[in-house]
Chains A and B, each alone.
Chain A
């Protein structure tokens, strides 16, 4: 028992572990899952006849990508309509390439994006994929939103039922401007001079 008594550090560790456990219980058990109880307004319209297909009688909820990005589980399977800029790449979804993944960025909050799976034919309408110096095609997508997609191993995505092009993309490549390099050249020039001075003094001291 001596070893246990003498080792004060064990006591500190034990107290810390108890505090950790107590805090964990309070934080994760006592505090209800308020985070996941967020409700979006209006309540989403869902697939009316439950056939998993977009029918003319199904009215989509017009929503933004930011709202989709913070949607809770109750929104799973909702029929939604949103617009966004195509970014990144066209990624093949299945082996025959009949369906592809397209990423859409919100035009209001550039950090909000959503993956959309659509037919290859729909994706062919995209003329530009957004990247540096490129603004992607703006699309309006109607489709089913999944918080944990049953078809794609729990992915966070939208299955497009219809896709419309709202605006074509554009390209703005960088122009070469020699003046933009002048500040760097000044710093580098002075830096190299200082380095040369350092080497000179060092050699003199030897």
Chain B
């Protein structure tokens, strides 16, 4: 039985969405202040409007329910699911007014891409974009990469006793420390620490390369954010290729890889449990997976004979593999090189790597290597069981922050997500094909959207693209970021809630049919008696009247308890 959303649910959800919107408005002060410092006055006025709209809508929504109480699991799912799109709509206010988008949908696409850390951008003339607008794009990456709910929890917006349902509804399951609020705070601390260290390092590179110190500082911060949260936006249209710097690419490769590792592993390493890092199933799967992929892609590129030396091949190939595997989507080659210089085999390998993605509990998207490892282990268990005597019980364990036994529930969950991702990749490709695009690009783009990978060929995803396909891609990014379950729950809830209730006549008809059925089964009621109405108090403290009615049906006495306010 699907449960409808009640008006009370809607008011509570509205209240918490309003809270998130006000917090998002506060986050918009960062680009606003950047604009003021850089004397970009037109831009500052846009962000001032953005802050105003966020605070206005947020405050209005909060008034829907003054004392909302704690969110239950269902409400938490809806808040998390809706937050991504509601915030994206508010984010379009300052960005669309910049005049850098051909259509409003292009702007919404970019905002969803920024928040979900997909990193595909269909902005026009990025190289002339203001510093503040760029800052906002990376603020969205930072918030979205950590997770809207994680940020809100770490800021204490949901209170100290916020439930775990909120945390898990955002495709996070690892509790680094027992309390979700403390876990969220720890995740935020790790991110800020890494981003600051990386920013200093990249600033030095950019400055030495001859960039103006102010620009070097901004670019360093933005690249650090996009690298660690595996975002994909870049401040220049040529992405990382703009900098022509191998040391910078090495730092970014390290950052992206760190961002694709489960944050819970960092917490263990921080506690001195280095063994957890080397024993972790996901880390081991990642190492094997990367070795295989790098060999395949290097061999594939070598056969093309376009890259003259091994260094060129490894520099371009390795960076692209890391960018795809971590679902970051940064590029040290141009889109044209991706489709002309890269062989079809290398192109396919990148799509596969992007589809699989990084680690569970990290900022990367895709199916996740932990699930691939679990599915592989489960297959091994099944084969072992098949070749063992009937009486033997095969038990397989794996290492994930301690030794765990592989249960059928864990394997089933991994398989469900795997199947959902694969199905969505294909559905996305079919939709692209239906819009008249070639199959290769359609599949590649579908994987890039669903896995939040962000590497695109540029043949389909471009400014002014088909609105229908653009809307579909927005849904793919949204669903992929929430790993489908929260998204599916949200869609089901909305459909069920808006499904028209049966009319009065239909209800009366059903009652009559039910009565007739009952009469046939038990015979006509012979005697009826009711006691005097008694005053009662309900669980929530509201007074009411209770009447107990006794009805004799055949040989049985049936009691009906009527409660009225």
Contacts and interface: CB of A to CB of B under 8 A. Distances in A.
A and B are partners in one complex rather than unrelated chains = yes
B59 A100 contact: no
Contacts of A183: 49, 52
A62 interface: no
B158 interface: no
Given A35-B340, A177-B45, A153 B439 contact: no
Contacts of B315: 153-154
B419 interface: yes
Contacts of A147: 306, 336-337, 340-341
Given A36-B339, A147-B306, A154-B313, A27 B128 contact: no
For A26, A150, A174, A181, the residue with the greatest tally of chain B CB atoms inside 10 Å of its CB is: A174
B418 A13 contact: yes
Contacts of A26: 439
B238 interface: yes
Interface string B45-70: 10011111111111110110011000
B55 A103 contact: no
Contacts of B125: 105, 110-111
A39 to B, nearest CB: 12
A26 B426 CA distance: 14
A150 to B, nearest CB: 4
A184 B215 CA distance: 28
B398 interface: no
Contact of A174 (B43, B333, B426): B43
Contacts, number: 237
B127 A130 contact: yes
A203 B412 CA distance: 49
B55 A188 contact: yes
A138 to B, nearest CB: 14
B58 A191 contact: yes
Counting contact residues on chain B (CB < 8 A from A), the size range is: 35 or more
A89 interface: yes
A119 to B, nearest CB: 14
Nearest to B381: A3
A67 to B, nearest CB: 11
B311 A153 contact: yes
Given A111-B125, A152-B244, A156-B241, A92 B63 contact: no
A110 to B, nearest CB: 3
B386 A130 contact: no
A185 B339 CA distance: 48
A91 B243 contact: yes
Contacts of A174: 39-43
A89 B216 CA distance: 10
Contacts of A72: 340
B264 interface: no
A198 B66 contact: yes
A148 B307 contact: yes
Interface string B232-250: 0000111001111110000
A43 interface: no
Interface stretch (B71-79, B81-89, B344-352, B556-564): B344-352
B422 A191 contact: no
Interface string A76-100: 1000000000011111110001001
Contact of B347 (A28, A89, A195): A28
B130 interface: yes
Give the bracket for the number of chain A residues in contact with chain B: 35 or more
Contact of B336 (A7, A17, A71, A189): A71
B423 A16 contact: yes
A205 B68 CA distance: 12
Contacts of B306: 73, 76, 147-148, 154
Which has the most chain B C-beta neighbours within 10 Å: A2, A28, A191? A191
Contact of A132 (B124, B131, B312, B386): B131
Contacts of B334: 69, 156
B321 to A, nearest CB: 15
Interface stretch (B104-112, B204-212, B358-366): B204-212
B368 interface: no
A50 interface: no
A7 B337 contact: no
**Residue with the highest number of chain B CB atoms closer than 10 Å, among A111, A132, A154:** A154
A147 to B, nearest CB: 6
Interface string B189-231: 0000000000000000000111110010000000000000000
Interface string A138-175: 00000000011010111110000000000000000111
A72 B342 CA distance: 11
A56 interface: no
A4 to B, nearest CB: 5
Nearest to A148: B306
Contacts of A36: 339-340
A121 interface: no
Nearest to B35: A174
Contact of A111 (B237, B309, B311): B237
17 contacts: A16-B422, A20-B426, A23-B429, A28-B440, A72-B340, A89-B210, A115-B241, A148-B337, A174-B43, A181-B48, A185-B48, A191-B57, A191-B59, A195-B62, A198-B59, A198-B63, A205-B67
Please list the 8 inter-chain residue pairs (A to B) with the smallest Cβ-Cβ separation, ordered nearest first: A187-B52, A191-B55, A110-B125, A184-B48, A191-B56, A194-B59, A180-B45, A154-B312
